[in-house]
Amino acid sequence: MRIGELAHRTGTTPKALRLYEARGLLGAVARAGSYRQYGEADVARVQLIRQALALGFRLADLDGLDTLHTAEGWARMAALVARRRAAVARERERLRALERQLAALEAELHACDTRAAPATPLSCAAA
């Protein structure tokens, strides 16, 4: 298949596919004359790239993706995923702490409102 069909099947653009190729993410792309020729393996690889990008990876993180057929490539991808999961866990904890702070502020505001106290939570807490 040509680049337009690959773009259509994977929900991307020919420009993005050329970028993936230039970065080495698609490996060696066969050519018929001056036209790129793609196969089902390329469809799967582009879908993997798109999924990784949607999960917050950057293209630079995916360098060497064409080696996924090797044990080293799989180990590298597994390490990337583990690091990304750890970052997500840290962000989730940060958001939990923020939620606790917001709940405390909301409680202070509610206490001030029910006491018809001054407009600032600090002056209300002192009252």
pLDDT tens series, the chain, 127 aa: 999 999 999 999 999 999 999 988 888 888 888 899 999 989 999 998 999 999 989 998 888 777 777 788 788 888 989 999 999 999 999 999 999 999 999 988 888 777 765 556 565 655 5
50 plus 5 within the same structural domain: yes
pLDDT at residue 94, rounded to an integer:
98
| Domain extent at residue 16 | 1-59
Q: How many CB atoms lie within 10 A of CB 79?
A: 10
What is the distance between the alpha carbons of residues 85 and 80, in angstroms, rounded to a whole number? Answer: 9
pLDDT at residue 70, rounded to an integer:
79
Please state at what angle helix 40-54 crosses helix 3-10, rounded to 10 degrees.
Answer: 40
Which spans in 1-127 are helix H? 3-10, 14-22, 40-54, 71-115, 121-126
Count of domains in the chain? 2
**In CATH, what number is assigned to the domain containing residue 16?**
1.10.1660.10
pLDDT at residue 74, rounded to an integer:
82
127 plus 74 within the same structural domain: yes
The reply to whether 65 falls in a domain is no
Q: pTM for this structure?
A: 0.70
53 plus 98 within the same structural domain: no
